[in-house]
Amino acid sequence: MRQITLSLRDETIASLQRDFEAFLRLSLKLDPQFITPSFEDYLRAKLLDNDTPLTEQAVQRMLTHGQYAWAKRALDKEFPDVVEILIRQAAEHGFAFAIRSDWSAEDLLKASRAWATAIVTEAKGDESQVDVLASQIKSAAMDIREVEEKMHTPAWRLADSLRQRVYEGKIAVETNVGSAAREKLGELRALLRLAIFYGSVQKQEAQQLLEYLRSLRPELFIDEPYDGFTRFAAWLRSIFGHAPRVPKPTRASR
């Protein structure tokens, strides 16, 4: 490294010394524990036209303990907390952060970590923030069905209406008779298919409902209608129709 030797007058050196002492007083006033540079570092900064000479130790001290310490705290800790607070409080002010209802815990964790990694990478933050931020995102997420119920979205209103219609259809099947009961059973089956699709009724719940009605009204579940007209028609066929002949027993030949 090349060196430059300067020859200065005493007045110039005294002026530089006064400036250096003023810089130290100002720096220590802002931060009593400020790590001050040496007089040689100060002269070097002056030569390079730099009014604020700082050593690497001084910069680190300012970022960790001085007036700019909030910046490092925000990046190391408070930033993930701020994201979590924003997401959590969103629902209190009419917003929501929803995830798919069919995601498993592993899917949620994987997606949360991928999003946290993208945020930290774009913000050029410390990679150690990824796990903390991913945990915050995961804990703040809500199932889309919970969001829809809380916000009374059109999809939730339809699903709620379908569940009510299913209940009314069950009562109709229980109380009606004959062909009317069979029609209500058909309507109920159609409603159950829609209710399962929209999440109003679980598939197992629908099966249990149909099994209950089958045990209560078994005649409605046979292939042929079992109403009074059908029984009357079957009686007429038994009278006027040709019943199958039963062969007469023959005597054994001797």
Is residue 194 domain-shared with residue 167, that is, in the same domain? Answer: yes
Closest CA to 169 of 144, 200, 128: 200
Q: Final residue of a domain: which of 144, 165, 186?
A: 144
Does a structural domain hold residue 2?
A: no
Question: What average pLDDT is seen over the chain?
Answer: 76
Give the count of domains, the chain. Answer: 3
Is residue 74 domain-shared with residue 129, that is, in the same domain? Answer: yes
Does a structural domain hold residue 239?
A: no
Does a structural domain hold residue 247?
A: no
d(CA 159, CA 198): 6
Is residue 79 domain-shared with residue 14, that is, in the same domain? Answer: no
Threshold 0.85, pTM exceeds: no
- Domain range holding 44? 10-65
Q: According to the model, what pLDDT value does residue 227 have?
A: 55
Is residue 133 domain-shared with residue 159, that is, in the same domain? Answer: no
Does a structural domain hold residue 139?
A: yes
d(CA 108, CA 95): 20
Does a structural domain hold residue 244?
A: no
Does a structural domain hold residue 4?
A: no
> pLDDT tens digits, residue range 92-145?
788 888 888 889 999 999 999 999 899 888 877 778 788 888 888 888 888 888
Tokens 């300012």, residue located: 62
